[in-house]
Chain A
Amino acid sequence: MATSANTEDLIRVVVQIADDHLILGHRLSEWCGHAPMLEEDLSMPNMALDLVGQSRALYSYAAQLENKGRSEDDFAYLRKDREYTNCLLVERPNTDFAHTMLKQFYFAAFMHPFWQGVKNGSDETLRGIAGKAEKEIGYHIRHAGEWIVRLGDGTDESAERMADAIDALHPYTSELLEVDDARQSCIAAGVIPEIGPIQAQWNATIHNVFTQAKLNVPEVDFPQQGGRTGHHTEDFGFLLTELQYMQRTYPGAQW
Chain B
Amino acid sequence: MSNAETIDLEAARAVAVNVCDPELPFLTLGDLGILRSVEVHGTTVIAKVSPTYSGCPALDVIEQSVHDALAQAGFNARVERMMTPPWTTDWITEEGRRKLEANGIAPPGNTQTDKNILFAKTAVCCPQCKSENTIKISEFGSTPCKAQYQCNSCSEPFDYFKCH
Contacts and interface: CB of A to CB of B under 8 A. Distances in A.
A230 interface: no
Given A43-B138, A142-B139, A53 B85 contact: no
Nearest to B60: A255
B136 to A, nearest CB: 10
A54 B148 contact: no
Interface residues of A, number: 29
A53 B140 contact: no
A67 B45 CA distance: 25
Contacts of A136: 53-55
Interface centre among B85, B140, B144 (most CB of A within 10 A): B140
A46 B57 CA distance: 11
Given A128-B83, A135-B164, A39 B140 contact: yes
A255 B64 CA distance: 13
A127 interface: yes
Contacts of A53: 51, 53-56
B104 interface: no
Contacts of A50: 53-55, 144
B34 to A, nearest CB: 12
B159 to A, nearest CB: 12
A149 interface: no
B142 interface: yes
A182 interface: no
Contacts of B22: none
Interface string B67-103: 0000000000000001111110000000000000000
A245 interface: no
B55 A51 contact: yes
Nearest to B138: A39
Contacts of A142: 139
A128 B85 contact: yes
A56 B55 CA distance: 8
Interface centre among A48, A56, A138, A139 (most CB of B within 10 A): A139
Interface of B: 51, 53-57, 60, 82-87, 118, 137-142, 144, 148, 164
19 contacts: A39-B138, A39-B148, A43-B138, A48-B55, A50-B54, A50-B55, A51-B55, A125-B84, A128-B84, A129-B54, A131-B84, A132-B83, A132-B87, A135-B164, A136-B53, A138-B118, A142-B139, A143-B140, A255-B60
Given A42-B141, A128-B84, A136-B53, 18 more contacts: A39-B148, A42-B142, A43-B138, A46-B140, A46-B144, A49-B53, A50-B53, A50-B54, A53-B53, A53-B55, A54-B54, A56-B55, A125-B83, A129-B54, A132-B54, A133-B54, A135-B164, A138-B118
